[in-house]
Every structure is written in C-alpha cells, then in structure tokens.
Chain A
Amino acid sequence: SQKIEQNSEALNIQEGKTATLTCNYTNYSPAYLQWYRQDPGRGPVFLLLIRENEKEKRKERLKVTFDTTLKQSLFHITASQPADSATYLCSSGGYNKLIFGAGTRLAVHP
C-alpha cells in the first residue's frame, strides 16, 4: 500500500545547528511533496511544496529536497531556534490520494 514514513523518534538539537528531517515514500510516485508544521492543539501550517521535477526548494532558513531515485525528501532548518520546536509533517499529492506521514517532533534546545 502507498505509505509515507517519517522518523518517529523525536529529534533533539542544539540552537544554531541545522535540523534535518527525513520523509520516505513507498509503492507510489507522488507528483509533489509538501511539508507542514504542527504545534500542539493546532492544525498543520503549510511550509514548502516541491514537485517531482524539482531537486531543491528554499524559503528563508528552510530547504527541502526531492530525490525520486531514493524515494525520499529531506527537510532542513538552518540556524535552528527554540521557536522551531514543533512536529513536522510530510505529505504527498498529485496523481494519488493525499497521504500524510505521522510527523517527526523537533526539539531545539537553547
């Protein structure tokens, strides 16, 4: 079945470092991948979208890559801050039904 997998273990990093989150998809080829941020008790907030023909996308301190050979997307936050602490969700869409991963919780420590 079509699936998105994200690291279920929380990622703990020091302020100022780069956080890297991984999203792997199996049994399908999405037309695009999206990354969302979700804070406790709130709905997800859209961050970035990358299409299958794009290798990399940047927005301020955020960078996302899309490797169709590895079936993987990497999400980077550079110069991380405690305010970046949240759960980050990967989702896919386009040719297939909309699928979200379970998310990876990021904790940035001062």
Chain B
Amino acid sequence: EAGVVQSPRYKIIEKKQPVAFWCNPISGHNTLYWYLQNLGQGPELLIRYENEEAVDDSQLPKDRFSAERLKGVDSTLKIQPAELGDSAVYLCASSSQGNEQFFGPGTRLTVL
C-alpha cells in the first residue's frame, strides 16, 4: 500500500512569491490534515478535511493561506504571498478512523 505522497519535497522561493504544495493521501482515507512544523517543534494543525469539507481551519492564516480538496481525495495548500516566517516543513497526513494518522515526508519550504 502506498503511503501519503507529497510534492515537492523541497522548495526555495523569494518572499512575496506564491507557492503551492500537493498531497495525495492513502487510498480510502477520508480525513486529510495539513500541518506546519518548525525546527525543534511539534506539528501544528493548519486545516483538517473530512472528505471535501474543511471541518477545522481555525489555525489557518486565511489572509495568505488557502487550501482545497475538491474531490475529497488529493489536496493543495497554497501560500500567497509567502513571508520569511513561513519557512518551515509542511506535513500532510491522512486517516481513515480519525485517530491514527499516516504522515507524508513533508515539504521543506525556504523563503529568502
């Protein structure tokens, strides 16, 4: 069984540029999560989807961050415009029963 796939693995952009991350969850997993992880810290939830509905986006900075999961399968997280403080690892995870989460390898974003 394939795991959670994320791309790209690494991204370097100039500040004020847009950036997008893509996630393909494990087949059959209805719940999808996007997290942000800073060095030495635990993951912080940005948004959680149940199928195509965003059920918890309270921590998503909506002025510059957006996400979509149009067909309830893969998802895209976008930042526009990126700021220096957005440099971090962006993790995607999925689950089928809402408890145990399966994480992807993450996208390491560097904003210069």
Does A43 contact B41, Cβ atoms closer than 8 Å? no
Residues of chain B contacted by A99 (CB below 8 angstroms): 45
Chain A neighbourhood of B58, CB < 8 A: 97
Decide if A34 touches B100 in the complex (CB within 8 Å).
yes
Main secondary structure on B side of the interface with A: loop
Compute how far the CA of A98 lies from the CA of B35 in the bound complex, rounded to whole angstroms: 10
Which A residue's beta carbon lies closest to that of B35? A100
Describe A's contact surface by its main secondary structure. strand
B99 to chain A, nearest CB (A): 6
Closest to A91 in B: B42
Contact yes or no, B42 A46, CB < 8 A: no
Contact among A46, A97, A101 with B101 in the assembled complex (CB-CB below 8 Å): A46
Complex contacts, B44 vs chain A, CB 8 Å: 100
Q: Indicate if the CB atoms of A98 and B45 lie closer than 8 Å.
A: yes
CB-contact partner of A44 in B45, B48, B56, B103, under 8 A = B103
Cα distance, A100 to B58, chains bound together (Å): 16
Check B48 against A43 for contact (C-beta < 8 Å).
Answer: no
Q: How many residues of B contact A (CB 8 A)?
A: 24
Question: From residue B26, how far is it (CB to closest CB) to chain A in Å?
Answer: 12
A97 with B45: CB separation less than 8 A: yes
B residues near A, CB below 8 A?
4, 33, 35, 40-45, 48, 56, 58-59, 91, 93, 98-106
Q: What mask results when residues 1 to 42 of chain A are scored 1 for a CB within 8 Å of chain B, else 0?
A: 000100000000000000000000000000010100000011
**Partner pick for B33 among A4, A45, A98, A101, CB 8 A cutoff:** A98
In the complex, what distance in Å separates the CA atom of A105 from the CA atom of B34? 23
Complex Cα gap A4–B48 (Å): 20
CA distance A45 to B103 in the complex (A): 7
Contact A46 B100 (CB under 8 A): yes
Is residue A49 contacting chain B, with contact meaning CB distance below 8 A? yes
Chain A: minimal CB distance from B67 (Å): 16
* Top 3 closest pairs, chain A to chain B, by CB: A43-B103, A100-B42, A46-B100
A102: CB under 8 A from chain B? yes
CA of A100 to CA of B37, assembled, Å: 10
A49 to B58, CA, bound (A): 25
